[in-house]
Structure 1
């Protein structure tokens, strides 16, 4: 507790006079020279509420004490009032630069001494109390932020668990979808990160990319509702079968709407957009709504390219895998539909990364077959 005033003066009568004036209101400790003062400060700095300091003392001067008080950070907590016969402009300027709060002239006037000490001490006590309150509020806010971060992390984990569960259902329902989902997520991340860097106007923050990548696993969730005879047909689909399998975009959204409220709105909305619109094309020739250009949600546009590339370079029940370089040129030449020019540029610049990831999954698939 800060309840003591340290009086530093090499003249005993000066210390006694100040002690008499201030003794009724404060606890007084005295030092007869600068060296003793620094020792007392070192031992009792948490108890000192103010220092009355003479400047001119033998060996260790008041200036030395003042610099020491500044070095240990005590000036921020306890004011220093200079007691001196010196009143030159240069002296005051130097003292103020060193952090002195006020001056008391010799010979002492009891009223002035008492009032100046009271004013400075009250001001520092108020400031320190205010700083303590601010610090406590800051600590409380930091604790609350940590709690919110933990809650947000739990929500993210819950969202991803819902997505993983549904993705696993698709994996068991559609023989190729398990590996395809992993590829789509990887390709989606590559394209989204490239788009974020190349086109800031997309506002693809790391958090947004994280959501899109996670939600991409549900692009084909509607296939859960498609009959095996069509979903797993090894040959070419008839027109009616093709139209039927196209309905997986609508059926998937119906499934997602059934779990509305159980997960974060951003994850839910992004998953819904991807599920419904990942077969739309930039020229309006996609399905189910024939959306044109930027009316197609960006998340669905990115996943659409990742989905097509993943399907081309993967072996399916009805086809062999297409060579990566050929698949790359098929997409660029519009053989798989028209995509956003900006995202096509991202696709061009991501060729090596996409092929490297595809090779990685091919190796994993080969190892699994051998085992």
Structure 2
């Protein structure tokens, strides 16, 4: 019977049908190890199973009755111990074929008879030390993995909180803009939806932009900041129902740079990705692909894809929505105006995405108008007609 080793010595199992060989090996290891013995393969398997928790090494003879050493290796492999307990094979066969077969079976080392005590002690000690080192490294790796996993989970939680805070900051600040601009509270939701939809088509149709779903999500959230600078524009200009003078239009145009000044004041409380996209979109959503936009006269791909997406979304929503200075165009009319270049020059790739996304964007618009009508009805007790496209 095998008993658990409770002392400081490591335990090794000697498996050999020759009692003389076992005695020789016991004499070599008696001062350093607790010794277990088995005189055949079947008894060895029983001892290995019982002693697996504290067994440090197995010295296994190849030629034995009933079950030879290779058969024992097969059984050890079945219970997945060959990598956990070093096996040192004992053999009188010094051929390279036998040695190769041993190593192919996963043994740690091979000892040839007759025994040289120095060589035997070195091989067994080295095998045990290598296993202990491997276990130590595995334990360290597992500990580090657990720590990294816990840190990653903590970072994910922090990222979610930060993302939620960013969204709340953007939503609350931009609500102020909507109140001042007398726009529907659903305007920013539509811009968000339009940017998300268009971004998805850019991702699928034009991989050269390198967009990811995460980036599209941040762009869509940050797009709400595009008109933050309008809170600095006087009401007499911002809410003027008629045509603006040249000077008044210059003041309106300044909402892009003034908005950037406001966003800079939020830098300390915003995630860097949100800050970068918010700043870029606020400043450049009125740039045009042919260079005729403002404030910096950027041209072509000098304009970020985030600003291009927001600029197109903003113009489309402006066309199909009622404003103090204009009635709403039908969706078909607005679509044609953009595609035909009546609202400035857009990136041809983005126009292709706009064509593909038309139905999805129109459905998103109708959905928000329905919600807006339901909200008005709940607040005022009366119906508020929502916009429907003529042919969609």
Match of 2:146 in 1: 139
* Distance (Å, rounded) in 1 between the aligned partners of 2:352 and 2:322: 26
Match of 1:314 in 2: 321
Q: What displacement does 1:332 show?
A: 0.5
1:339-350 to structure 2, matched below 5 A, reads 339-350=346-357
Q: What displacement does 1:203 show?
A: 2.2
Report if the CA contact (8 A) 2:102-2:110 is conserved: no
Match of 2:280 in 1: 273
Listed one character per residue, the Cα deviations across residues 133-167 of structure 1 (whole Å, up to 9, x for unaligned) are 33333333333333333333333333222212212
* Distance (Å, rounded) in 1 between the aligned partners of 2:195 and 2:180: 22
* Distance (Å, rounded) in 2 between the aligned partners of 1:333 and 1:30: 91
Match of 1:249 in 2: 256
Q: Which runs of 5+ in 1 are unaligned?
A: none
Q: How many residues align?
A: 371
Equivalent in 190, 198, 202 of residue 209 of structure 2: 202
* Distance (Å, rounded) in 1 between the aligned partners of 2:257 and 2:168: 23
Q: Which runs of 5+ in 2 are unaligned?
A: 379-392
Match of 2:308 in 1: 301
* Distance (Å, rounded) in 2 between the aligned partners of 1:332 and 1:67: 72
Q: What displacement does 1:294 show?
A: 2.5
Match of 1:32 in 2: 39
Q: What displacement does 1:196 show?
A: 2.2
Moved over 4 A (4+): none
The answer to whether residue 21 in structure 2 is matched with residue 14 in structure 1 is yes
Listed one character per residue, the Cα deviations across residues 312-333 of structure 1 (whole Å, up to 9, x for unaligned) are 1223333333221221111001
Report if the CA contact (8 A) 1:167-1:178 is conserved: no
Q: What displacement does 1:12 show?
A: 2.7
Instruction: Judge which range, 157-166 or 238-247, deviates more.
Output: 238-247
Q: What displacement does 1:20 show?
A: 1.6
Q: TM-score, normalised by structure 1?
A: 0.91
Q: What displacement does 1:185 show?
A: 0.6
Q: Judging changes above 3 Å, is the alpha-carbon distance between structure 1 residues 108 and 290 closer, same or farther for their aligned structure 2 residues?
A: closer
The answer to whether residue 327 in structure 2 is matched with residue 326 in structure 1 is no
Q: Secondary structure at the match of 2:35?
A: strand
Match of 1:60 in 2: 67
Q: Secondary structure at the match of 1:93?
A: helix
Match of 2:174 in 1: 167
